[in-house]
Amino acid sequence: MSSQTLEIDMPAPARAEWRAEVREYEQPHLGRTALDLATSVVPYVAMLVVTYLLIDVSVLLALAVAPITAGFMLRTFILFHDCTHGSLFHHRQANRVAGTGLGLLLFLPYASWGHSHAMHHATAGDLDRRGHGDLATLTVDEYLARSRKGRLGYRLFRNPLVMFGLGPILSFVIAPRLIPDDAKPRIRRAIIGTNIALAVLITGLCLTIGWWQYLVVQWPAAWLAGSAGIFLFYVQHQFEDVYWETNEDWDFRDAALRGSSFLDLPAVLRFFSGNIGYHHVHHLSARIPNYNLPRAHREIPLFRDVPVLTLREALKTPRLKLWDVQQRRMVGFSAAIAAS
C-alpha cells in the first residue's frame, strides 16, 4: 500500500470541499525538484567526503562537522519522504526509482517505509487505530490500568534520553532491517533487497576506507539527523491541544488541521527540515511537494486557524506523555498520578 493508492476514510463530499483548493499546489516542478536534489543530496555526499578527508587532519575536526552533514542528511530524508508520497516527481516510476536510491543513502527500504508512513497519514489522531507508523501514546486511563512493570516500560520509552538518544538507532538502523510477520511479499522483498544492498555497500566502504573511518564519517551525522527527525515528528503530533478522537468521531480533515502543528521555525531550520514544519498542510494533502507547502499555507484560508508552535514551545513538548480523554489534552505523568 502506498500513499498514492491509500483510500482515506472520509465522505466524498467532505473531500471535495478542500481538494479543489489544494490541487494546484500538488503539481511538482522538475526544475524545483532538481534544485532540491542539488541542495540536499549533493552537499550531503560532499560533506561525507569532507569528513573523511578531515580525519587525516584531526578526528575531532571531522566530528565537529557532523551537525552540518546531519542537516543535509535530514534534508535528503525529506526528499525520500516526498517520493513515498508520490510528490517529488509527476510519474510514479520516477518517485520509486529516486526514492529507492535515496533510501539506500538513508538506510531505509522505500516500499516498507512508505507503507508504514501512509498508514500513519490515514490513522493519525484516531484513538482506535493507534500503532501504525506513529509514536506509541497511551491515554491516562490506559496508563493507570497498567501494572507497575508496564508503567515503567512506558516511562522509559517516553523518556527523552531514550526517544532522542536510542530512538534514532532503533528507528533508522534496527527496525528497518526487520521483516514484520504480516508483511506482504512486496514489502518483504523491499526489506531483504535493501538489507543486501546496504551490506554490500557498507562492506565495500569499510574495506576501502577502513571500518573505524567509516564509523566516524557516517554515524555521528546519522545519529544527529535521526534524533532531529524524531524530534520533529514528535512535536508535530504531541502538543498539548492535539486532536485525538475515537474512530466513530474521527475526521480526516480535522485530524490534519488540528492534529498536526505548524512548527514556525527560523529560515535556516526550515531549509534543513525541508519545510516539514508546515505539517498541517502536508497532512491534509501529502501530494504537495515540500517546496510548495509554505505557499499553500500562505494562500489558502483553510490554514489560517491551525495550532502554531514556536521552537521554544516545541522544546517543552517532550514533557507531555499521555492523552487525557476528559480534559482533551496531552498531559504529563504527574497529572496522571494526581488524577488517580
Structure confidence by residue, pLDDT tens digits, 162-195: 999 999 999 999 999 999 988 899 999 999 999 9
pLDDT at 11: 44
Regions of the chain where pLDDT drops below 70: 1-16, 339-340
pLDDT for residue 216: 97
Other CB atoms within 10 Å distance of the CB of residue 99 = 25
Distance CA 110, CA 194 (A): 8
pLDDT digits (tens, 9 = 90+) for 306-321: 999 999 999 999 999 9
What whole-number distance in Å separates Cα of residue 12 and Cα of residue 9?
9
Per-residue confidence (pLDDT) for residue 16, from 0 to 100: 60
Q: Which amino acid belongs to residue 204?
A: G
The predicted pLDDT at position 337 comes to 76
Structure pTM? 0.92
Q: b vs e for 56-65, b when ≥16 Cβ sit within 10 Å of the residue's Cβ?
A: eeeeeebbeb
How far apart are the C-alpha atoms of 87 and 287, rounded to whole Å? 5
pLDDT of residue 1: 34
Query: What pLDDT does residue 339 have?
Result: 66
Sign of CA dihedral 181, 183, 184, 186: negative
User: What are the distances in angstroms from CA 133 to CA 38, 171, 193, 225, 327?
Assistant: 29, 11, 21, 19, 26
